[in-house]
Structure formats: structure tokens, C-alpha cells
Amino acid sequence: MSDLISISDAIELVLGRVTPLASQRVSLERAAGRFAAEAAVSIVDLPPFAASAMDGFAVRAGETPGTVPIHGRIVTGTPSPTALAEGGAIGISTGGVVPEGADAVVPVELVTEQDGMLIIPNPVVLGDNIRPRGGDLAAGDTIVAPGTRLGAAHVGALAAGGVADLAVGRRPKVCVLVTGSELQAPGTPLGPGQIYDANGFILEAQLAAAGAEVVRLPPVRDDEAATFAAIEQGLNADVLITTGGVSVGVHDLVRSAEAQLGVIEIFWRVAMRPGKPIAFGVRGETLVFGLPGNPVSSLVGFELFVRPALLALQGASEPRPRFLPGVLAAGSKRVAERDSLIRARQVVRDGSVVLEPLSGQDSHMIARAATADALVLVPRGEGLLEAGSAVEYLPLA
């Protein structure tokens, strides 16, 4: 019997510890990428008035086909000066206010102007080329529900609805601490036995995309006092993420330092590959993630557990990783008692997403992983998961 918990149990344990952060009002300019904390409603009908969908002439459908007098032109952005109570036509542009009495717009291409008259050769259907007032949304209707991540179209709809500011979830403050005496920053020469820190950079990129405010602590050596001091500082954030030092090596000091600092461990070790030795704990409201040191393990651990936590902190209604259906292109060896997340590339073939596993699946191979755009879930088991098998995958940004 394995003492490892499943990926889905681990995700639920993490989300069970999240209390959404307080909301704050932001102006619409700053709202993209944030999560609506309340329903935002339109203050106007959309469109706010019956508007022309074409450049042409506002007419009365009942007078078509026929020849009618032209009563002038409507300037877009101003109300119509004339009503069409007695019939006739008024020139109008796309977005112009359809005058009182008109019930259709005939496009300019379909008519002829002659001596102040408009010749309309064909019948025009009632309502043609008119965008009815409120046809998109009525005043008071909800534009975005709480928990929605605001994308470009959302902020556009909010702007169209006259919403100048709204409440959104606060961005989580996240402290990143990479551990390991071997780590050097890119830009400095490598000494013997040293490697460049990759995890700090991976995490900063992932955190920015997840809406977090990042505080980076300097890399810490595998030294008990230094590790303790750095973690103590990191615990002031909403979320502390460490990398390295969470397996069972003699230099793996992170969990013991955290325990001394009052972090309650919720789980350690998940039935997954890569990333098995991941740790998660809490101190008060602070969430504490101990990601393994291998860059691909760190990357995968973030996608499965940290990103959902960050989204939930910001009030997301759907924080869980969204796995999609696909087809495995090549056989993949299963791992007994551990679900694998293999790095793959998506190719669309015959209408479905086919996932081509990359060569080089070791957890230190960040350069190989950099060419992947998907993490494919290969469920635990014996033998091979055959080519052509239906699988689930997580797209990578």
C-alpha cells in the first residue's frame, strides 16, 4: 500500500485551505486579468438606442419598393433631427440613431439617389439592418458574474455597459525562495559543481500569469540557520513557495525549518511523476508550498497545486486545473502507483488533439520541457499506455 496521496486529493486539500483574499475596487483600466468579486451590471441598455447596422437610409418598410423623398442625413453621435412620421428616407451611417417612425435601414448599395429622391427597387423587410435597443443586454443585467476572470472581451463589455470601476479579488503576495548551495544566478560565472537557478525564473513567469505579486528572496544555501531565516521572512506573504530541499537528503532542510516556524504540514509526497516529494502546509492564512528542486518537478507542481490556490485566493469560480481530452500519439510507459505528467506537443489531426510525447522526460530536463505545450496525464499502472489511447492533458501557456 502506498502512503502517497493522489493528485486530485492533494488539489482538494490545497483548495480546502484557501480563504479568498479581501476584494478591492479597481478602475476598469486595471481590471484585465483580475477576478470579479461581485456581479457587475450594465447601467445602460446595449445598444442604448435603436441603431443602424449599415450605411444607408432609414425608411419605412411599408413604402418599399418605391421612390420616396430624402429628408436629410443623420450625423452619428447625435439624435436624429427628424422623424419619419410621414414617410420618406433619411441618410444614416452605421451606429446612427434610427429616427422615430423608421422601421428599416436599406443599405446604400441597394438604392439610387436622384434629385432629392431615393429609388428603392426591391422590398425592404421590417427591422432590416436595425440593431434594436437592448438587443445585446438590458440595463441592470449582469455583464460578469462573481468569480469570472476578466479577459479582453469582459472589460470591453463592462466599458460598453458604462462600468468605470469594480470590485476584484486582491492579488496574492507570493514569496519565492529557491534553496540549494549549488545555485548561481545567470550572469555570473559557474564554479565547479554549480548550476544556474532556473526555478526562480520559471516561478516568476508562472506567478505573473496567475496574477500574483512576486517577492523574490535571494537563493539560500543548504544551511540550517540561513534556511530558517529566509523561510521566516517568507512566511509574511500570503503564499510562500520554496524549491528544493524537500526530499529525504541530508541537506533537505525546508520541512524541518517550516515545522519549527509553526507551519502545519497538510501533506508531503503525492503519487505523481515528476514532483513526488511536494509538500504543502499552512501557517495561519499563509499557504506554504515546498516544490521539489528539479525544474520540471517544480513547473508541474505549480500547475497542479499552486496555480489553483492562487486563482482561488483571488476568488476564481473555477480554480481547478482544466484537463482536456486528447489522444496519445505514442505508447507511454506507466508508472506503478504514480500518475505521470508527461511533456508533449499538441497537434490537431482529424479534428482531435493528438499529443506527441517529447523525448527526454527526466525531471531535470528543463530545456526539453521548454518545447512542450501540454502535460499529458498517464494514469498509474503496469506496462504501456498504448498509442491511440484517449488521455487527458493540461495545456501549458
Angstrom distance (rounded) from CA 393 to CA 301: 15
214 CB contacts (<8 Å, ≥6 apart)? 174, 175, 176, 203, 204, 207, 208
> Taking a C-beta distance cutoff of 8 angstroms, is the pair 341, 330 a contact?
no
Tell me the one-letter amino acid at 183: L
Q: Convert residues 61-100 into a mask of x (bound to Mg ion by CB under 5 A) and - (unbound).
A: ----------------------------------------
Stretch in the footprint of Mg ion (CB under 5 A) among 105-113, 242-250, 329-337, 344-352: 242-250
> Taking a C-beta distance cutoff of 8 angstroms, is the pair 172, 236 a contact?
no
Q: Convert residues 204-223 into a mask of x (bound to ligand AMP by CB under 6 A) and - (unbound).
A: --------------------
Stretch in the footprint of Mg ion (CB under 5 A) among 230-238, 285-293, 295-303, 334-342: 285-293
Residues facing residue 40 across a β-bridge: 144
Task: Tell me how far, at minimum, the Cβ of 302 lies from Mg ion, in Å.
Answer: 17
227 binds ligand AMP (CB under 6 A): no
Q: Convert residues 7-46 into a mask of x (bound to ligand AMP by CB under 6 A) and - (unbound).
A: ----------------------------------------
Stretch in the footprint of Mg ion (CB under 5 A) among 30-38, 195-203, 237-245, 306-314: 237-245
Grid coordinates of 246: 524537500
> How far is residue 40 from each of residues 10, 141, 150, 193, 257, measured CA to CA in Å?
33, 8, 11, 55, 45
Angstrom distance (rounded) from CA 237 to CA 248: 26
Out of 294, 314, 332, 346, the only residue in the binding site for ligand AMP (CB under 6 A) is 294
83 CB contacts (<8 Å, ≥6 apart)? 99, 100, 101
Angstrom distance (rounded) from CA 32 to CA 214: 18
Out of 42, 199, 332, 340, the only residue in the binding site for ligand AMP (CB under 6 A) is 199
Residue 195 binding target from Mg ion, ligand AMP, none, CB below 5 to 8 Å by type: ligand AMP
Residue 258 binding target from Mg ion, ligand AMP, none, CB below 5 to 8 Å by type: none
Out of 249, 325, 360, 388, the only residue in the binding site for ligand AMP (CB under 6 A) is 249
> How far is residue 349 from each of residues 165, 209, 330, measured CA to CA in Å?
44, 29, 14
The dihedral through the CA atoms of 103, 104, 105, 106 has a sign that is: negative
Q: What spatial distance separates the first Cα and last Cα of the chain, rounded to whole Å?
A: 36
245 binds ligand AMP (CB under 6 A): yes
Give the E-state strand segments of 50-114 in sequence order: 51-52, 56-59, 66-73, 89-92, 104-107, 112-114
Task: Tell me how far, at minimum, the Cβ of 275 lies from Mg ion, in Å.
Answer: 15
274 binds ligand AMP (CB under 6 A): no
User: By C-beta, is 105 or 174 nearer to ligand AMP?
Assistant: 174
Residue 183 binding target from ligand AMP, Mg ion, none, CB below 5 to 8 Å by type: ligand AMP
Q: Give the torsion through C-alpha atoms of 7, 9, 13, 15, to 10 deg.
A: 70
219 binds Mg ion (CB under 5 A): no
Closest residue to ligand AMP, judged by C-beta, is 293
Residue 206 binding target from ligand AMP, Mg ion, none, CB below 5 to 8 Å by type: none
244 binds Mg ion (CB under 5 A): yes
Stretch in the footprint of ligand AMP (CB under 6 A) among 72-80, 144-152, 197-205, 259-267: 197-205
91 binds ligand AMP (CB under 6 A): no
244 binds ligand AMP (CB under 6 A): yes
User: By C-beta, is 182 or 392 nearer to ligand AMP?
Assistant: 182
Grid coordinates of 76: 452619428
Angstrom distance (rounded) from CA 345 to CA 60: 58
Out of 96, 161, 200, 293, the only residue in the binding site for Mg ion (CB under 5 A) is 293
Count of positions (residues) in the chain: 397
Report the interface residues with Mg ion, using CB under 5 A.
Answer: 180, 244-245, 293
Report the interface residues with ligand AMP, using CB under 6 A.
Answer: 178, 180, 182-183, 195, 197-200, 243-245, 247, 249, 292-295, 364
